[in-house]
Amino acid sequence: MGLDDRKLAVLRAIVEDYVATQEPVGSKALVERHQLGVSPATVRNDMAVLEEEGYIRQPHTSAGRVPTDRGYRLFVDRLSRVKPLSPAERRAIERFLVGAVDLDDVVHRTVRLLAQLTRQVAVVQYPSLARSSVRHLELVPISTTRLMLVMIADTGRVEQRLVELPAPIPADHVTDLRRLVNEKLVGSRLSETPPLVQALVEESSPQLRPAMTTLSTVLLETLVERHEERIALAGTANLTRGGLLDFQGSLRPILEALEEEVVLLKLIGEAEPSTTRVLIGDENEVDNLRAASVVSTGYGPGATIVGGLGVLGPTRMDYPGTIATVRAVARYVGELLAQN
């Protein structure tokens, strides 16, 4: 059963008013605030249909209507246009991001900026190691049986890890190791390193074999398996805006979810090129976040995607504005990374 244009306009008006006022919206208020050109009674009939179709609902019998997750979805997909950013916002973005001195700095500035502009919780994934390649590997002797392994990726990420050698190792062996791993691994994508690392061990001289074996384990662990993804978070205080009406009264599940890196990665880490993903309420797979919506996108230098970023807020959020901001920030960050 199709919804004619006016019914869609009514839905749009409901969403906009509800997002703005945070209160159920009734037929009378609607015709007053929007130029719908019909009477409240007509709007009521439309509303009845919209409710039947599951786009809106009544919190109480004698209350106005509130959009459902499904209603927001329709709104986002068909009824809204991405709001252009205000010049002030553009300026804010530029001002915020110039002067970043390194990757850590970029990520931190970005996440704070995003939280501030959208007034929601912002999440930024560090450039994914899986999508990076090795730029350089450094081995720094700490003692005769200990090395500090430092990996620098082309995305600017730097990871380090302590290597405990099985036996003391002379300085020139460290030099050899350093040369070997760099020769073999520099330039290759991290996701493709495991066979190369394996080969390194097999090809290494008997002298170097034990050290190389240990080193290879650490390399694989650090670079491929273990906490390879990192995340920055900001703006949790924004969860308390709108009293306790959002999130059905309890921040607890939200805060819990935000502490789980895995969950966050799932939310924003599966970015596809040039798409902005919007997950509304129930669409979310994480149970704790059924009351929230997530707007996320990928970012990276040029057209490539090296990581994801996004914001999380109540289902009652300003989708057009949020989407615009998330996209714009991602684009700026991409440009920033491209300069390196």
Q: How far apart are CB 58 and DNA at their closest, in Å?
A: 6
**Amino acid, single-letter form, for residue 212:** M
Q: Phi and psi at residue 172, in whole multiples of 5°?
A: -70, -25
45 forms part of the interface with DNA (CB under 7 A): yes
- SS3 label, residue 310: strand
Of positions 205, 207, 248, 250, contacts its own copies by CB under 8 A: 250
Instruction: Mark residues 89-128: x for contact with its own copies by CB under 8 A, - for none.
Output: ------------xx--------------------------
40 forms part of the interface with DNA (CB under 7 A): yes
User: Percentages helix, strand, coil for the chain, rounded to the nearest 5?
Assistant: 50, 20, 30
Q: Phi and psi at residue 122, in whole multiples of 5°?
A: -110, 145
User: Residue 7 and residue 12: Cα distance in Å, rounded?
Assistant: 9
Q: How far apart are CB 51 and DNA at their closest, in Å?
A: 6
- DSSP character string of 254-313: HHHHHH-HHHHHHHHSS--TT-EEEEEGGG-SSGGGTTEEEEEEEE-STT---EEEEEEE
51 forms part of the interface with DNA (CB under 7 A): yes
Q: Name which of 154, 153, 149, 129 is nearest 139 in CA terms.
A: 149
61 forms part of the interface with DNA (CB under 7 A): yes
251 forms part of the interface with its own copies (CB under 8 A): yes
- SS3 label, residue 280: strand
Q: Which residues pair with 310 in a beta bridge?
A: 123, 296
Q: Name which of 127, 136, 130 is nearest 181 in CA terms.
A: 136
Of positions 94, 183, 203, 256, contacts its own copies by CB under 8 A: 256
**Residue 47 touches which member of DNA, its own copies, none, C-beta under 5-8 Å by kind:** DNA
Q: How far apart are CB 77 and DNA at their closest, in Å?
A: 24
**Residue 81 touches which member of DNA, its own copies, none, C-beta under 5-8 Å by kind:** none
266 forms part of the interface with its own copies (CB under 8 A): no
**Residue 38 touches which member of its own copies, DNA, none, C-beta under 5-8 Å by kind:** DNA
Of positions 37, 87, 206, 243, contacts DNA by CB under 7 A: 37
User: Residue 258 and residue 68: Cα distance in Å, rounded?
Assistant: 24
**Amino acid, single-letter form, for residue 337:** L
Q: How far apart are CB 340 and its own copies at their closest, in Å?
A: 8
242 forms part of the interface with DNA (CB under 7 A): no
> How many distinct helices (H) and strands (E) make up the chain?
12, 10
Write out the residues near its own copies by the rule CB under 8 A.
101-102, 135-136, 138, 140, 142, 148, 150, 152, 156, 158, 160-162, 221, 226, 234-237, 239-240, 244, 250-252, 255-256, 258-259, 340
